[in-house]
Amino acid sequence: HSVVISGTGLYQPLHTITNAELVQAFNAYVDLQNAEHAQAIAAGEREPLVHSSVEFIEKASGIKQRYVLEKDGVLDPTRMYPRFKERPDDQLSLMAEIAVDAAQHALKAAGKPASVIDAVLCASANMQRAYPAMAVEIQHALGAGGYGFDMNVACSSATFALEQAYNAVRSGASKCVLVINPEITSAHLEWRDRDCHFIFGDVCTALIVERADLATAPEQWEILGTHLATQFSNNIRNNFGFMNRAEDSDPLARDKTFRQEGRKVFKEVVPIAAAHIEGHLATLDRQPSDVKRYWLHQANLGMNQLVIKKLVGGEVGADLAPLILDEFANTASAGSIIAFHRHRADLKAGDLGVICSFGAGYSVGSVVVKKR
Ligand code: CO8
């Protein structure tokens, strides 16, 4: 069967944090810490913490603001992480709540009721709990049929899920698959680390992937192929997990939240991503210059500029490789999907596009699509 993406949906949290607000809170935290440890710092036993800056953040990353589900806890210099209320087991979980919202938007765009969904893939960098799977809760809340499961490939979760959806539909096993990417990155970002406190934002994206002959949406994107790759690296790592208690490790230790060697990631991932896209297009007898739009992973402006330069020698811009990270920051797996959701209306039938993610793992996933 031919397979199309027939709808996309976006859940955008209500709260924004500008770089100015973020830096003000961070610097207040630094001042509090340095005052608290003034003696040790004066004795040379401890390094003082250093202020962050709006200029650095914009220049190094291209990020200007981020959306978050909860703002006060993040900006409280005595806390520096969001404050979520624990919900009872019989209440819809927060992750499922934002997923249902994004899914409903995608279903509306596809012109389909939830009951036609026969598989739900919840794919994101962090899951709210061990089990039952988030996907099964989302399936139940939507009234979808079939089955659901969770998958995690960090920033490449969405593209890796798209390949699973594509294969399920083209093999005939499924008719209509919901791919959903709830990214509550604010809960696993280390807001107290100057090197990374500005990087992430919260969001949820959704995609409807279905058989072309059953699709009725006014706008459809045929999937021409998917290509996934991974290569082990410790340069982006989070050691939070169910073994922590048994290992008697400190649940608040630095290694239990996001950390990275940003420079190394930048240098190593750009060539991997560019070669990956070029190789994938070659298998479809296409060249990078045949592509009208690249919806790239949204981690860093300079990174996307270099990927595009390697591919076609051109510039990142609204036309070739639209950016959404200035507004959303890095939203892990959702970034390239937000770019696809927001920046495709102007393309014409027959136009070719590539959705491509890259990130922790390392992992790279590309999806080549053609407007019908
Ligand atoms: N304010 C002011 N100065 C700063 C700050 C700050 N906030 N932070 C660092 N500096 C200083 C440094 O101290 C350094 O000073 P010096 O030169 O004196 O040593 C100088 O600025 C330069 O620092 P860096 O070399 O670290 O800065 P870069 O220019 O490399 O920029 C970036 C840092 C923005 C992190 C950049 O390296 C980058 O974007 N790299 C790519 C990262 C990337 O793509 N990562 C993917 C990660 S995400 C992913 O895959 C998903 C994981 C799952 C997510 C889960 C949820 C949270």
The gap from C-alpha 316 to its chain's centroid, in whole angstroms, comes to 19
Average pLDDT over residues 171-197: 98
* Number of the ligand 1 atom closest to the C-alpha atom of 198: 7
Q: Is the CB of 17 under 6 A from ligand 1?
A: no
Q: Which amino acid belongs to residue 58?
A: E
Q: How confident is the model at residue 267 (pLDDT cuts 50, 70, 90)?
A: very high
307 lines ligand 1 (CB under 6 A): no
Residues 106-129 have a mean pLDDT of 98
The reply to whether 204 belongs to the active site is: no
Q: Which domains does the chain carry?
A: 221-371 (3.40.47.10)
Least reliable range by pLDDT among 90-104, 116-130, 310-324 = 310-324
**Axis crossing angle, helix 94-110 with helix 134-142, rounded to the nearest 10:** 50
Distance 329 CA to ligand 1 centre (A): 13
- For the chain, what is the radius of gyration of the CA atoms? 21
Q: Is the pLDDT assigned to residue 333 strictly greater than 70? A: yes
Q: Which residues, in sequence order, are CB contacts of 314 under 8 Å at separation 6+?
A: 308, 320
For residue 89, which amino acid is it? D
User: Which residue among 23, 56, 234 is best mutated to probe the pocket of ligand 1, counting the most ligand atoms within 8 A of its Cβ?
Assistant: 56
The answer to whether the CB of 139 falls within 8 A of the CB of 146 is yes
Q: Which residues of 220-258 are buried (b: 16+ CB within 10 A; e: fewer)?
A: bbebbebbbbeeebebbebeeeeeeeeeeeeeeeeebbb
Q: Whose CA is nearest to atom 6 of ligand 1?
A: 52
Predicted confidence at residue 318, as pLDDT, reads 67
The predicted pLDDT at position 316 comes to: 65
Task: Give me the catalytic one of 155, 176, 204, 356.
Answer: 155
pLDDT digits (tens, 9 = 90+) for 285-330: 999 999 999 999 999 999 999 999 999 986 666 689 999 999 999 9
Written as one string, the DSSP assignment of 143-187 is: T--SEEEEE--GGGHHHHHHHHHHHHHHTTS-SEEEEEEEE-GGG
| Coil, helix or strand at residue 177 | strand
The confidence score (pLDDT) of residue 251 equals: 87
Mean pLDDT value across the chain? 97
Mean pLDDT, range 19-26, rounded to an integer: 98
Q: Which DSSP helix (H) or strand (E) runs through 226?
A: strand 221-230
Residue closest by Cα to atom 46 of ligand 1: 359
Q: Does the beta carbon of 357 lie inside 6 Å of ligand 1?
A: no
Ligand 1 mean position to 196 CA, how many Å?
6
Give this complex's ipTM.
0.92
The answer, yes or no, to whether residue 117 has pLDDT greater than 70, is yes
Tell me what the mean pLDDT of segment 235-239 comes to. Answer: 97
Q: Is 351 helix (H, G, I), strand (E, B) or coil?
A: coil
CB of 229 shorter than 6 A to ligand 1 = no
CB of 260 closer than 6 A to ligand 1? yes
Question: Residue 258 CA: which ligand 1 atom is closest?
Answer: 57
The phi and psi torsions of 50 (rounded to 5 degrees) equal -115, 145
236 lines ligand 1 (CB under 6 A): yes
User: Residue 293 in 3-state DSSP?
Assistant: strand
The response to whether residue 156 sits with its C-beta less than 6 Å from ligand 1 reads no
Q: Is 125 in the pocket of ligand 1 (CB under 6 A)?
A: yes
CA of 241 to the centre of ligand 1 (A): 24
pLDDT for position 30: 98
Q: How far is the CA of 142 from the centre of ligand 1 (A)?
A: 39
Å from CA of 225 to ligand 1 middle: 33
